[in-house]
């Protein structure tokens, strides 16, 4: 195994950097710098450069302040793990007892989903009056010139109250439809 001192390693790193520069950008023209190092020396130098870059990155992260430095970590995860581990232990004990009793476990699942209706209070009289007036006025809408639509009849609007929409009263149709 080849032992390399710190100074020699730094020299190798510089030479490897020159070699990479030559390979990618053709920085220098002499082939001598690339021929001085063997493949394994270049490989070691490249690895040393990667290790140094990683160590610098880790050191920088340690020096930097983080917003979660003093905050508790993994609280929910630990809470779930404690519940899960207890549940798994209980089920293992029950499964062992069932096997000893000669009973097989069978998992059956049933799901019931119910959507409860949302009950709203009746509208106040002023709100109903406003909605009726708004519906009445909106039936007139905009009048367009006959040249725009020709002889086509525009569909007539149907005015429905809340009771008619809910189906508690018969439907009253405006304009004789």
Query: Residue 28, Cβ neighbours under 10 Å: how many?
Result: 13
**In angstroms, rounded to a whole number, what is the distance separating the alpha carbons of residues 109 and 124?**
47
Average pLDDT of span 35-40 = 81
% of the chain with per-residue pLDDT over 70: 68
% of the chain with per-residue pLDDT over 90: 25
Average pLDDT of span 111-122 = 85
Most confidently predicted of 13-17, 115-119, 142-146: 115-119
**In angstroms, rounded to a whole number, what is the distance separating the alpha carbons of residues 47 and 9?**
11
Q: pLDDT tens digits, residue range 43-86?
A: 999 999 999 999 999 998 888 777 777 788 889 999 999 999 99
pTM over 0.75: no
Candidates 13, 15, 9; CA nearest to 34 is 15
Report whether pLDDT(175) > 80: no
- Mean confidence (pLDDT) of the chain: 77
**In angstroms, rounded to a whole number, what is the distance separating the alpha carbons of residues 87 and 76?**
16
Element (H, E) at 144: none
Candidates 26, 28, 23; CA nearest to 46 is 23
**In angstroms, rounded to a whole number, what is the distance separating the alpha carbons of residues 110 and 126?**
48
**32-42 burial: b if 16+ Cβ within 10 Å, else e:** ebeeebeeebb
Report whether pLDDT(7) > 60: no
Per-residue confidence (pLDDT) for residue 50, from 0 to 100: 96
Average pLDDT of span 83-93 = 94
Q: pLDDT tens digits, residue range 128-144?
A: 999 889 888 888 777 77
């Amino acid at each position: 195994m080849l032992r390399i001192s710190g100074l020699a390693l730094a020299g190798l790193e510089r030479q490897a950097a020159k070699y990479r520069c030559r390979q990618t950008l053709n920085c220098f023209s002499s082939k001598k710098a690339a021929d001085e190092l063997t493949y394994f020396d270049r490989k070691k130098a490249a690895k040393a450069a990667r290790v140094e870059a990683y160590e610098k990155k880790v050191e920088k992260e340690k020096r930097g302040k983080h917003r979660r430095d003093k905050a508790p970590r993994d609280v929910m995860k630990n809470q779930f793990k404690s519940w899960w581990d207890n549940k798994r232990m209980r089920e293992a004990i029950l499964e062992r007892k069932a096997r000893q009793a000669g009973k097989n476990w069978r998992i059956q699942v049933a799901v019931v989903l119910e959507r409860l209706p949302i009950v709203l209070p009746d509208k106040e009289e002023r709100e109903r009056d406003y909605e009726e007036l708004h519906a009445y006025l909106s039936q007139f809408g905009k009048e367009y010139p006959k040249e725009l639509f020709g002889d086509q009849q525009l569909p007539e609007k149907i005015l429905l109250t809340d009771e008619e929409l809910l189906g508690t009263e018969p439907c009253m149709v405006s304009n004789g439809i």
